[in-house]
């Protein structure tokens, strides 16, 4: 029954109202009342509605008062009831303070939101106008969730006006899992490793069939608070093409469908012309990317410097897609790009930061097409030291699109029809320029931690067809170093112009991590004294020493684990891994929002147009840095989850098979093992290692048998048997077949380490 109808019935029958002593008889004395019983009680007893009154009415005593208090608080947060001082009353409308959700496509100049919680029986959710008055303590934007003070609207489409008080964290709005039909309905098998199964009644299936991957709303049922679910959306069959990555997208709530307003903006965009630009179309730029790349952020060209004062030097040109020309500050595309933060790359799909017409067409530096770009001219001496640089807004025309393999094969003396005419005038000068730049790079001494990355190749059904480690080519290092130097130039220029920017920062490792690494290296007879300050060259010395040790893989793993995580910040902390004092991402604006911010900052600092970084954005840079650092971590987690699930499906029919691998992580509960060929990760519970009691030694990153001294240590080569796979969760369980190394058993009475720390497993950190 609707609230107004119910109130009207109660108003017409005042003689039916009872005292709270009489009311208590409808509920078994001493039991926690339901939400409906509390609401009915408040309707009947408007003048006796304190927490004490409610407890007395339902006979709630002792510890049950804590449960009642929590229930009342939840009802208040949901807007079902509200409280004035110590008295509760039934909410006849929105409470004076409530949570409001603002849609992502809301008009920032006239934002309309909706109550976060609303009973569908009450009708359509009321519209709430978000006030931008001086009384607002915060300034939310589209997509935000805010705690706000509510008042009635005098006129207009909205029923209420909300004055924002606080921007809240976004809750997980939905969960996903796979339907397994039962006689009474179905059960939901969660895709998360730590998820729990839930019951779904037949009437709550919403058309879902057995085996379907679904999105659900979680509910509770009865006083026992039994988890129950209702299907809100059928995603598809998890074994169908591209469905595996969909699990990660839904699980981590990564936006993957563009709003209509964003698509409309992108479709309305037109190619740039020469207005306000320098004409660089006569420079024979080339793009060098993976063979499967669909968007091309950067193009390069180099020639020997003709200046007699710089004998043996080079002039290097870098052109970066001018995304700022198409994605204007405050536009729908801009807001969506910030929400996404970056593109997300899966083995079976790419979830782009920008719509396809922008990312794969207008902004992509495709060959033989005029394209708008931010141009950079750098001059290096014969030993790779940068002498000068300058930024320009230009129009270019790429001469050729090449893959890394094409460029490398040509420079190695085997050009194809496409690269043969490019070899002498374009490719050889580029590689010669890099050879000079590499001299300076080695003198700089960046962290030389180069762990291999496996690539998963899928078949037409979206399942694993092949796994391989791509060869690391000189062509890869050429593009990487030219992009690094471009990023340094961007940071230097903006600092020189005193223009705010977002840095790409990588802090030095903490002293705590350094001492942990020192202890581990001592067990390998490798000396390491970090001192008060540590430099990348110290790590490089360790890695060099480890090349001739018994376990170089272990040393690489431990050096990786000691590193801090790179992130975006408006404060310059330097880049430890690259051994650079200042660094900013500039070279990939199609797929990273940080680069778009830097482009806009350069346009503003150098007076290159009206579409530069707005002054009002300066104060928002800390928030933007936090947002895009989060989206980057989210993307990495999604990519990792998807790879784990694909590999678990790949190995699902190989139960009982033997594999070789390395121990990639050690915790008190067991060992993480990474298989050599596929790179799949699995777990060996400590309880399955044998009859001995194994102690976790944190300094050695090892499990050691208390009686036998048998040791399993991170980096050890082992043989395992696959015992169990859970493809939906992306998890594998192994059995250890190898014997551990014999060492001295730990001393009796020695404190046992119980700290659980997940193994890193050799994943390269993004720069």
Whose CA is closest to 186, among 170, 166, 208, 171? 208
Q: What is the DSSP letter of 427?
A: I
Cα–Cα–Cα angle for 169, 170, 172, rounded to 5 degrees: 130
Please answer whether residues 145 and 115 qualify as being in contact, where contact means their C-beta atoms are separated by less than 8 angstroms.
no
Between 671 and 15, the higher pLDDT residue = 671
Q: What is the DSSP letter of 14?
A: G
Query: Residue 589: helix, strand or coil by DSSP?
Result: coil
Please answer whether residues 320 and 587 qualify as being in contact, where contact means their C-beta atoms are separated by less than 8 angstroms.
yes
Q: What is the pLDDT of residue 754?
A: 39
Q: What is the pLDDT of residue 119?
A: 57
Write the burial class of residue 524 (CB in 10 Å: 0-12 exposed, 13-18 middle, 19+ buried).
Answer: buried
CB contact burial 736-747 (16+ within 10 A = b; e otherwise)? beeebeebebbe
In this structure, what token pair is assigned to residue 29? 């004395």
What average pLDDT does the segment 137-164 reach? Answer: 80
Whose CA is closest to 621, among 595, 586, 585, 597? 597
Residues 6+ apart with CB under 8 A from 409: 415, 416, 419
Q: What is the pLDDT of residues 24-37, one digit of tens each?
A: 445 666 788 887 78
Please answer whether residues 187 and 146 qualify as being in contact, where contact means their C-beta atoms are separated by less than 8 angstroms.
no
Please answer whether residues 232 and 217 qualify as being in contact, where contact means their C-beta atoms are separated by less than 8 angstroms.
yes
Q: What is the pLDDT of residues 720-752, one digit of tens each?
A: 999 999 888 889 999 999 999 999 888 765 444
Q: What is the pLDDT of residues 647-670, one digit of tens each?
A: 998 999 999 999 999 998 899 999
Which of these ranges, 174-183, 320-329, 568-577, 692-701, has the smallest mean pLDDT? 174-183
> Measured in whole angstroms, how far is the alpha carbon of residue 447 from the centre of its chain?
24
Query: Residue 66: helix, strand or coil by DSSP?
Result: helix
Residue 90 reports pLDDT greater than 70: no
Q: What is the DSSP letter of 159?
A: S
What average pLDDT does the segment 202-211 reach? Answer: 89
Q: What is the pLDDT of residue 170?
A: 61
Helical pair 474-496 and 593-606, crossing angle rounded to 10 deg: 50
CA distance 164 to 146: 6
DSSP tally for the chain: helices H, then strands E: 18, 34
Query: Residue 190: helix, strand or coil by DSSP?
Result: strand
Residue 4 reports pLDDT greater than 50: no
Q: What is the DSSP letter of 541?
A: H
H or E segment at 639? helix 621-651
* Average per-residue pLDDT for the chain: 85
CA distance 168 to 472: 45
What average pLDDT does the segment 559-574 reach? Answer: 92
Structure-token match 């730049």, residue found: 437
Residues 6+ apart with CB under 8 A from 242: 348, 349, 462
Whose CA is closest to 205, among 225, 245, 177, 226? 177
Please answer whether residues 449 and 560 qualify as being in contact, where contact means their C-beta atoms are separated by less than 8 angstroms.
yes
Please answer whether residues 568 and 502 qualify as being in contact, where contact means their C-beta atoms are separated by less than 8 angstroms.
yes
Q: What is the pLDDT of residue 82?
A: 63
Please answer whether residues 625 and 568 qualify as being in contact, where contact means their C-beta atoms are separated by less than 8 angstroms.
yes
In this structure, what token pair is assigned to residue 465? 């067809």
Highest mean pLDDT among 18-22, 237-241, 512-516, 682-686: 682-686
- The neighbouring-strand residues paired with 304 are 314
Share of the chain above pLDDT 70, in %: 87
Please answer whether residues 290 and 406 qualify as being in contact, where contact means their C-beta atoms are separated by less than 8 angstroms.
no
Query: Residue 725: helix, strand or coil by DSSP?
Result: strand
CA distance 685 to 573: 40
Residues 6+ apart with CB under 8 A from 79: 91, 94, 95, 98, 99, 115, 117, 118
Please answer whether residues 142 and 109 qualify as being in contact, where contact means their C-beta atoms are separated by less than 8 angstroms.
no
**Other residues' Cβ atoms within 10 Å of the Cβ of residue 520:** 26
Q: Say how many residues make up the chain.
A: 767
Q: What is the pLDDT of residue 283?
A: 98
Highest mean pLDDT among 78-82, 138-142, 363-367: 363-367
Q: What is the pLDDT of residue 28?
A: 62
Residue 193 reports pLDDT greater than 70: no
pLDDT band for position 766 (cuts 50, 70, 90): very low
Cα–Cα–Cα angle for 566, 572, 573, rounded to 5 degrees: 55
CA distance 307 to 380: 11
CA distance 712 to 249: 36
Q: What is the pLDDT of residue 110?
A: 84
In this structure, what token pair is assigned to residue 405? 């393999």
CA distance 555 to 647: 26
Query: Residue 290: helix, strand or coil by DSSP?
Result: coil
Sheet with 710-713, edge to edge strand ranges: 694-697, 702-705, 710-713, 741-742
Residues 6+ apart with CB under 8 A from 216: 174, 175, 176, 177, 188, 198, 200, 229, 230, 231, 232
- The neighbouring-strand residues paired with 164 are 148
CA distances from 235 to 231, 243, 258, 520, 641 (A): 10, 8, 17, 47, 18
Q: What is the pLDDT of residue 53?
A: 86
Q: β-pairing, 344-345 with 503-505? A: unpaired
Whose CA is closest to 272, among 160, 386, 372, 363? 372
Q: What is the pLDDT of residue 451?
A: 74
CA distance 192 to 172: 14
Between 358 and 747, the higher pLDDT residue = 358
pTM above 0.85, yes or no: no
Which of these ranges, 458-467, 567-576, 578-587, has the smallest mean pLDDT? 458-467
Whose CA is closest to 197, among 729, 650, 645, 730? 729
CB contact burial 405-416 (16+ within 10 A = b; e otherwise)? ebbbbbbeeebe
Q: N- to C-terminal Cα distance for the chain? A: 58
Q: What is the pLDDT of residue 148?
A: 86
- Indicate if the alpha-carbon torsion angle 52, 54, 60, 65 is positive or negative: negative
CA distance 423 to 428: 6
Whose CA is closest to 162, among 152, 149, 153? 149
Q: What is the pLDDT of residues 221-268, one digit of tens each?
A: 544 455 788 888 887 777 766 678 888 888 888 888 898 889 999 999
**Other residues' Cβ atoms within 10 Å of the Cβ of residue 422:** 20
- Indicate if the alpha-carbon torsion angle 152, 153, 157, 163 is positive or negative: negative
Q: What is the DSSP letter of 577?
A: T
Q: What is the pLDDT of residue 84?
A: 63
Q: What is the pLDDT of residues 517-548, one digit of tens each?
A: 888 788 777 888 877 788 899 999 889 888 87
Write the burial class of residue 224 (CB in 10 Å: 0-12 exposed, 13-18 middle, 19+ buried).
Answer: exposed
CA distance 767 to 450: 12
CA distance 371 to 628: 27
Give the helix ranges, DSSP H, for 304-427: 332-340, 356, 404-411, 420-422
Helical pair 621-651 and 593-606, crossing angle rounded to 10 deg: 150
Residue 301 reports pLDDT greater than 90: yes
Residue 132 reports pLDDT greater than 60: yes
């Amino acid at each position: 029954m609707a609230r107004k109808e119910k109130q009207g019935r109660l108003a017409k029958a005042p003689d039916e109202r009872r005292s709270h002593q009489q009311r208590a008889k409808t509920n078994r004395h001493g039991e926690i009342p339901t939400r409906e019983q509390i609401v009915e009680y408040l309707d009947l007893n408007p003048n006796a509605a304190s927490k004490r009154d409610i407890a007395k009415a339902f006979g709630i005593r002792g510890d049950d008062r804590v449960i009642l208090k929590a229930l009342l608080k939840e009802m208040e947060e949901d807007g079902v009831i509200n409280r004035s001082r110590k008295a509760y009353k039934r909410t006849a409308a929105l409470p004076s303070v409530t949570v409001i959700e603002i849609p992502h496509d809301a008009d920032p100049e006239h934002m309309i939101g909706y109550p976060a919680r609303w009973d569908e029986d009450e009708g359509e959710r009321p519209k709430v106008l978000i006030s931008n008055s001086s009384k607002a303590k915060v300034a939310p934007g589209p997509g935000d969730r805010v705690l706000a003070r509510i008042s009635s609207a005098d006129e207009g489409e909205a029923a209420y006006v909300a004055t924002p008080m606080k921007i809240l964290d976004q809750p997980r709005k939905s969960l996903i899992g796979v339907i397994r039909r039962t006689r009474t309905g179905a059960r939901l098998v969660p895709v998360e490793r730590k998820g729990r199964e839930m019951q779904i009644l037949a009437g709550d299936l919403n058309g879902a069939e057995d085996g379907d991957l679904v999105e659900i709303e979680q509910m509770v049922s009865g006083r026992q608070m039994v988890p129950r679910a209702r299907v809100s959306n059928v995603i598809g069959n998890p074994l169908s093409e591209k469905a595996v990555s969909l699990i990660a997208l839904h699980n981590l709530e990564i936006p993957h469908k563009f709003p209509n307003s964003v698509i409309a903006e992108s479709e309305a965009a037109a190619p740039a012309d020469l207005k306000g630009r320098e004409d660089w179309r006569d420079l024979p730029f080339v793009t060098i990317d993976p063979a499967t790349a669909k968007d091309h952020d950067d193009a390069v060209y180099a020639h020997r410097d003709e200046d007699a004062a710089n004998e043996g030097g080079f002039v290097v040109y870098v052109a970066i897609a001018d995304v700022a020309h198409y994605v204007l500050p405050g536009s729908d595309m801009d807001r969506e790009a910030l929400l996404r933060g970056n593109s997300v790359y899966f083995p079976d799909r790419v979830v782009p930061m920008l719509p396809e017409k922008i990312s794969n067409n207008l902004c992509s530096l495709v060959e033989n097409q005029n394209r708008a770009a931010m141009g950079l001219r750098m001059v290096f001496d014969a030993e790779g030291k940068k002498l000068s640089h300058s930024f320009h807004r230009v129009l270019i025309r790429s001469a050729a699109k090449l893959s890394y393999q094409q460029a490398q094969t040509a420079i190695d003396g085997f050009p194809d029809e496409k690269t043969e005419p490019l070899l002498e005038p374009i490719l050889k000068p580029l590689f010669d320029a890099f050879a000079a730049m590499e001299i300076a790079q080695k003198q700089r001494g960046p962290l030389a931690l180069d762990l291999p990355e496996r690539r998963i190749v899928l078949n037409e059904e979206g399942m694993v067809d092949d796994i391989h480690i791509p060869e690391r080519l000189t062509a890869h290092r050429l593009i990487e170093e030219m992009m690094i130097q471009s990023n340094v130039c961007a940071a230097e220029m903006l600092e020189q112009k005193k223009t705010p920017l977002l840095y790409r920062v990588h802090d030095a490792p903490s002293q705590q991590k350094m001492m942990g690494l020192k202890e581990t290296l001592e067990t390998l007879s490798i000396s390491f004294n970090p001192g008060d300050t540590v430099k990348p060259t110290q790590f490089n010395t360790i890695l060099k020493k480890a090349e001739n040790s018994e376990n170089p893989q272990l040393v690489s793993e431990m050096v990786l684990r000691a590193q801090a995580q790179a992130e975006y910040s408006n404060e310059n902390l330097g880049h430890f891994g690259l051994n650079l004092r200042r660094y900013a991402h500039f070279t990939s604006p199609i797929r990273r929002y940080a680069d778009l911010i830097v482009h806009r900052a350069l346009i503003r600092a150098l007076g290159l147009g009206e579409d530069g970084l707005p002054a009002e954005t300066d104060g928002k840079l800390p928030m933007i840095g936090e947002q895009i650092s989060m989206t980057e971590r989210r993307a990495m987690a999604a990519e990792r989850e998807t790879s784990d699930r694909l590999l678990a499906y790949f190995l699902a029919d190989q139960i009982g098979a033997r594999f070789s691998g390395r121990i990639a992580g050690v915790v008190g509960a067991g060992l993480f093992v990474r298989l050599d060929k596929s790179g799949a990760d699995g777990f060996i519970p400590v309880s399955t290692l044998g009859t001995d009691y194994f102690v976790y030694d944190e300094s050695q990153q090892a499990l050691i048998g208390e009686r036998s001294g048998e040791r399993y240590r991170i980096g050890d080569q082992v043989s395992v048997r696959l015992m169990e796979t859970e493809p939906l969760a992306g998890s594998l369980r192994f059995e250890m077949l190898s014997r551990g190394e014999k060492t001295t058993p730990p001393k009796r009475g020695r404190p046992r380490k119980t700290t659980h720390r997940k193994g890193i497993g050799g994943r390269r950190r993004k720069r």
